[in-house]
Structures are given as C-alpha cells and as structure tokens.
A and B are shown apart, each in its own frame.
Chain A
Amino acid sequence: MKKAIAIASLTAAFSLSAAHAQGVTLTFACDSVGQGYDECQKGANAWAKQTGNTVKLLQVPKETDQRLALYQQQLGAKSGDVDVYMIDVVWPGLIGQHLLDLKSSIPQSQINSYFPAIVQNNTVNGKLVGIPWFTDAGVLYYRTDLLKKYGYNAAPKTWNELSTMAQKIQAGERKTNPKFVGFVFQGKNYEGLTCDALEWINSFGGGTIIDNSGKITVNNDKAVEALRAIQAMVGPVAPQAVTTYGEEEARNVWQAGNSAFMRNWPYAYSLAEASGSPIKGKVGVAALPAGPGGKPAATLGGWQLAVNAYSKHPKEAASLVQYLTSAPEQKRRAIQASYNPTIASLYKDPEVLKAVPFFGSLYDVFINAVARPATVTGGKYNEVSNAFSTAVYNVLTNKSAPGPALKSLEGQLSRIKGRGW
C-alpha cells in the first residue's frame, strides 16, 4: 500500500515537473564589465517572463581576451553548454564557423535598422553570425569642474594639449590629494591596449597596423611619433602603474575622483553619473585628441549576440537574441546604462539624448570609428593583436624605444603572417 502511494506521488511529481518544464532553459554568456551583468539579467528576465522560458546567466571573465579563450575551448570541443554568446566585434572571423546563421531567424526589417557596417562586419562567408547589440568607440572623459578651475574652457584637441592640461591640473591637485593623476587609460598587455594604441597611432596618421589589403604597415614614422608621445606621458602625466590597468582599473581611479582625464568606453558614463558617485555632475565626454596634422581616431568596439551552432534550443536562443537586440531593449539599455545603440534612429531619440547627451554630440565619432585589422587577418587576429600590444607595452614600460619596437613588431607580424592571412 505504502509502495503504491509512493509510486503514485512520484508519478504525480514527474508529470507536474514536466508540465512546468514546458519552457526551455537557456544559458547565456553575457557581460561582466561595469553594470553589464545586471543589465543582461534585466533584459533576459524580461524575455523569460514573456515567453515562459528560463535564462541562466553565466559569469564570464572581465577582459575580452579571457572570455575568448574560454569560448574557444567550448566551441572547439563543439560543446552546447552555452546557447547564446555575447561576442566582441573582432570575433566573427575567429569563431564564426561555430555560430548559427541568424539571417532567417531575425526579421529583415530589424536587420535593416542596424548600422550597415556592423552587419557587414558580422557577416562571415555570407552567414550573419552575430546581431549588433551595442556599439562602442573610445572616448575621452574629462572633469568639467577641474578644467574650469584651471582656466580651460574646452576639452583638449591634441595629445600635446592633453598632456599640458593634465600636467597643470595634476600639479595643482596634488597639493591636496597626493593620489591625483592626470590621465588614465588601458595600459595592461591585453586587447584593451591594442584598442588604445590603435587610436594613438591612427590619430597621428600612422594607419591601422595592417591595411585592408593585408600589408603590414605599422612600422612608419607617424606611428613611431605617436608611441613616443604616449611614452613621454607615462610617468609625468599618467601614473606609471597604468601599465597594469584594464578598463575597470582605470575607471576605479577616475570615478574615485583621482584623475583629470580618462580614455574609456561609453559604459563608464552612466556609472560616473550614478547617484553616490564622487564625480557626479562633473563628467564631460569628448572625442579623443588628435596628433599633429592628424584627426581624432576612436577604435571601433562593440558587442553582438550570437547563437551557438551546437545549441540544443536554437529557436528559443534566436528569439532571445531578437528580443535583446530590438529597438525598445536597446533604448532601455542606452538610457539606463549608456550602452551605445546599433540603430541609427535611437541617436535622435529625445529620451536617449537626455540621459546620455554625448550620444548626439559625438555621433560622428561613433559611426566613423576605426576598425582593428580583424577581418583581414581572420583566424590569426589574436596573434596579431597579441604581438602588437606586447610591443606597445614594451614601449610604455620603457623597455624598448618606439622605433626598434615597431621594427621588431614588423618582423614578428610577418612571421605570424607566414604564407598569408
């Protein structure tokens, strides 16, 4: 009798759980920088509530190359553990073959609303492997109150100006705050340094490391000049320890009120302006400075959503991607966390512009951002970026002079290139 009851209740429990498990559980490898995790959670939960499915968020490393290392292992092993990946703008060429073609799962009208350059970037061999979620470009953050205090009325236009202004502010502020520094950026040897250094070199007119035809162009006079200018800043203007900073380390110094200028991505804006931030209301954002005779350059960043080709629930995963990349969700993320939309019309939306004024004033910066040489180098991009950031790192730490560093980098890049990209 007891046995019968047990079996009956077990059966009931199973059928109940089966009824409950009508929706599927998706695993989503999203963000972890700044408010990234919370914002992913909010968006995913809204979709889950709407569709009756469940989304599990995976905690991912903060730095982009660490994430890539993890995903490459999963995808190389053809694992379906993660259904939806958030992928960096330079990854489609690297891992595209392991991602699903989303062309048929996302309405054509939605695809047409995105910036065409990003859609193009995410198309690998005719497959649309990533849907643009937010775009990014390096910007210069400055302290409006300090600029005024030291008699400046505009953000610096050239690197030289930045250096002079930062030096003056630093000298003045150090009297009361011994921790104060002039300028922070991403100087650690990783992908972030590649982005920063590409901006310096490009803004001096030194090209893009490797040009679109695959020729290695990094060893030129303008690039040497650019690296020399930045090398001179590490120590006097930027803290020497900037060579240990990633995005968040730089933001921590800046947001504590200990720096006059910062190079970072737009996500840092809403955090610096959040209630409780020591620098709330004192944050200005401008285009990055230019070199002599050059024009300002911002490295194109940004993230896409992609569906794992080995996922067991491709349909639901594509639906999650479609929801998160849609205009309303992008608008919510722009207003609440200053993530740049990938839809042009949102840059004219009054609510967005009220929350993040520089989206309007820096619109040109965002759409003219310089791409890293990821498309032309394909599967070897990581090695190229690695070699480049290491060479720049050696310059920043004074282990190498800019000229010899770029010359040996050129040799190394041709070694990586081998018989071709």
Chain B
Amino acid sequence: MTTTPTSTRPAVRRTRGLHASRTRVALLLLVPMLLVLAAVAGYPLLRTIYLSFTDYNILQDPAPKWIGLGNYWFTTPEGVGLGVLQTPEWWQSVWNTVKFTVGSVILETVLGLAFALIINSKIKGRGFLRTAILVPWAIPTVVSAQMWNWMYNDSFGVISQWGQKLGFLHTGESFLSNPDTALAALVAVDVWKTTPFMALLLLAGLQTIPSDMYEAADVDGASPWTQFWRLTLPLLTPALLVALIFRTLDALRVFDMPYIVKGNAPETITMSIYARQQLILNSQFGFGSAISVMIFLIIMVFTAIYVTSLRVKFD
C-alpha cells in the first residue's frame, strides 16, 4: 500500500516531464511554420476583411476610409442601392458560377469515374492510357484556354467549322458567340481539362479496394453491374466525396479559363472575374474586397454543407 505511491509517483512525474518537453519542442518547431502561415495566409485574409469595410481606391485615395457595411449594403437617400448585395451584376456572376460549377462537376465526376474504372481494369496498354489521360491536366490552363479559344473561333476554329458543316451554327457564328451556349462551351473546356484529375483521384480510391472481395463476389455469382453498385461504389464513397469537394471549391473560384476565353462578357462572368474587374480594372479595393469576402463566405457555406450533410471525415 505504501510502496505503490512511492514507486509510481516518480514515474508519472518523469513521463509528464517528457510529455511537456516534447510539447515544447513541437511548438518551437511549429512556430516558424505558423509565422509563415500568418504572414502569407492570415494577414492577406484579415486585410481583405478590413478593406471590405473601407472606401478605398488605390489610385485615388491616399488611405482607406472606414465606411462600415457600406460596401455590402448601402442605399442612398435617392433610393439607389450601392452595396454589392444590391448589385445585379454580382448576382449574375454568382448565378453563372453556380451553373458552371454544377454542370462541370457532375460531368467530370461521371466521366472521371468511367475513366478510372477503365484504366483500373486489366486491359492492354493500361500504363500508356494512364499517362495519356493526364495530358490535358498537365497543360497550363492559360495555354489550353487559348487553344480552345482558337478552336472555337468562328472563321478558322475547327469546332465552329464542324458546327457550321453539321448545321448547328450559321456562318460567322460560334458556340462561344451565342450567349445561350457560351457557358456550356466553357463547361466543355473545363471538363476536358479537369476530368483527368478526377479520374486520378478516383483511381487511387479504386486501388485501395482489396481484389479478393471481387473474387468472392465472382464466386457468389454477382454480375459486374451488381458488383459495381454493391461493392465498388460504397467502398469508393470516401474518395469520391473528397474529389467532389476539391472540384466544387475549385470550380466556385474559377477565373483563368473563362477569363481568357470570354473576358468580361456578362453571360459567362464568374464571381472571381467580377471581383477582379472591380479590384484591378476599377481599382476599387474596398468594394472589390467586399466581393472577395462574399466569395469566401459562399465557398465556406458550400464546404460546411458538404462536410456536415455527407459526414466527410478528414482523417
């Protein structure tokens, strides 16, 4: 009875001391990284949030002027709404972005899954296929966007020529110039470019499924269709969800491809292009920051919905 405390007490103290010193070392090792993160991620984010409450034009104003929520919601005495939430152009860009995101993510997931299943099966030239499928993903977006822009060109673009020959388009018309098809044309470019990424993520997921499960299913006489629905899909769900989140968040803040192909055209302007237009072109740092904060919030909401409704676990 009396020996137990004397024998355990020093041991506890020793492990506690070890634990504490380990924590100290870990913290010390983490400090540089935390500092860098604060400098490159924390500061810009906080500064953007701060600027969104100011009336600041980098070309004209010497310093930001605090205006509270004026950039978000402000109605002049004449009844004119000046805030971003009262601006129809902003809502148009939100709507465009959402349509773009839904269209491209659904297509990319379906096609990516199909590609992943193909290159995961034991077919000839599998190695070559895996490499070849990565090519669109490997080309820089700026280059591939310009390439597609030329393919869509009404007078020398190959896609417009087919379209005109097959009767979908009149002379001097392209899928990009028609406002009803322009967004779909951009989704096509994005699908071409990003399906490989989706396929790669899903392929990694597929390879974690043990093959003996399929052997057992074969013995039980399950058809490939049943195997896919009962085995592959449920086991692939974690990978699929991670891929979906990645792509959705990426698509929501898309900028480069639509900007290069269509510029500031209202039917395809995305949230990020609108933010750039106000921030850079009109040098309205205050108003533009408010837009950036709105984009940040929208993306956060999407992430929260995904994580909670689909019970994704990040571990």
A390 within 8 A of B: yes
A121 within 8 A of B: no
Instruction: Count chain A CB atoms within 10 A of each CB in B78, B174, B262, B263 and give the residue with the most.
Output: B263
Check A239 against B280 for contact (C-beta < 8 Å): no
Check A399 against B267 for contact (C-beta < 8 Å): yes
Q: Which of B59, B80, B281 contacts A75 (CB 8 A)?
A: B59
Known: A72-B58, A72-B283, A386-B282. A241 touches B177 (CB 8 A): yes
- Chain A interface residue number, banded: 35 or more
Q: Which of B165-173, B217-225, B302-310 has 4 or more CB atoms under 8 Å from chain A? A: B165-173
A residues in contact with B281, CB < 8 Å: 65, 68-69, 72, 382, 386
Check B266 against A393 for contact (C-beta < 8 Å): yes
> Chain B binding site: helix, strand, loop or mixed by DSSP?
loop
For residue A191, give the distance in angstroms from its CB to the closest CB of chain B. Answer: 10
Give complex CA distance A220, B13 in Å: 87
A residues in contact with B284, CB < 8 Å: 383
Render B271-289 as a binary contact track against A, CB cut-off 8 A, 1 for contact: 0000001001111100000
From 61 to 81 in chain A, residues with beta carbon under 8 angstroms from any chain B beta carbon are 65, 68-69, 72-73, 75-76
Check A243 against B280 for contact (C-beta < 8 Å): no
Q: Which of A243, A252, A415 contacts B177 (CB 8 A)?
A: A243
B108 within 8 A of A: no
B residues in contact with A253, CB < 8 Å: 155
Q: Which residue of B lies closest to A414 (CB)?
A: B80
Give complex CA distance A17, B48 in Å: 45
Give complex CA distance A97, B57 in Å: 13
B176 within 8 A of A: yes
For residue A209, give the distance in angstroms from its CB to the closest CB of chain B. Answer: 17
Give complex CA distance A190, B264 in Å: 7
Check A241 against B80 for contact (C-beta < 8 Å): no
Render B53-68 as a binary contact track against A, CB cut-off 8 A, 1 for contact: 0000111100000000
B142 within 8 A of A: no
B76 within 8 A of A: yes
Q: Which of A76, A189, A394 contacts B263 (CB 8 A)?
A: A189
Check B280 against A69 for contact (C-beta < 8 Å): yes
For residue A251, give the distance in angstroms from its CB to the closest CB of chain B. Answer: 12
Known: A239-B171, A414-B80. A379 touches B57 (CB 8 A): yes
B residues in contact with A244, CB < 8 Å: 154, 174, 176-177, 262
Check A189 against B264 for contact (C-beta < 8 Å): yes
Known: A379-B57, A382-B282. A240 touches B266 (CB 8 A): no
Q: Which of A72, A411, A415 contacts B59 (CB 8 A)?
A: A72
B residues in contact with A73, CB < 8 Å: 280
Count of chain B residues with a beta carbon within 8 Å of a chain A beta carbon: 35
A295 within 8 A of B: no
From 71 to 99 in chain B, residues with beta carbon under 8 angstroms from any chain A beta carbon are 76, 78, 80-82, 89
Check A386 against B179 for contact (C-beta < 8 Å): no
Q: Which of B153, B155, B174, B176 contacts A258 (CB 8 A)?
A: B155
Check A241 against B263 for contact (C-beta < 8 Å): no
A residues in contact with B283, CB < 8 Å: 72, 76, 382
For residue B171, give the distance in angstroms from its CB to the closest CB of chain A. Answer: 6
B207 within 8 A of A: no
For residue A385, give the distance in angstroms from its CB to the closest CB of chain B. Answer: 10
A418 within 8 A of B: yes
A residues in contact with B277, CB < 8 Å: 386
A162 within 8 A of B: no
Q: Give me 16 A-to-B residue pairs in the complex whose CB atoms sit less than 8 angstroms apart, sorted by A's number.
A: A76-B58, A181-B171, A190-B263, A239-B171, A240-B177, A241-B155, A241-B160, A241-B172, A241-B174, A244-B154, A256-B155, A382-B281, A383-B284, A386-B277, A394-B266, A397-B178
Measuring CB to CB, which residues of chain A are less than 8 angstroms from any residue of chain B? 65, 68-69, 72-73, 75-76, 94-95, 97-98, 174, 178-179, 181, 188-190, 235, 238-244, 252-253, 256, 258, 379, 382-383, 386, 390, 393-394, 397-399, 411, 414-415, 418-419
Measuring CB to CB, which residues of chain B are less than 8 angstroms from any residue of chain A? 57-60, 76, 78, 80-82, 89, 153-155, 160, 170-174, 176-179, 262-267, 277, 280-284
Q: Given contacts A240-B154, A244-B154, A386-B281, could you give 6 more A-B pairs where the C-beta distance is less than 8 Å?
A: A178-B171, A179-B155, A241-B160, A244-B262, A398-B179, A399-B179
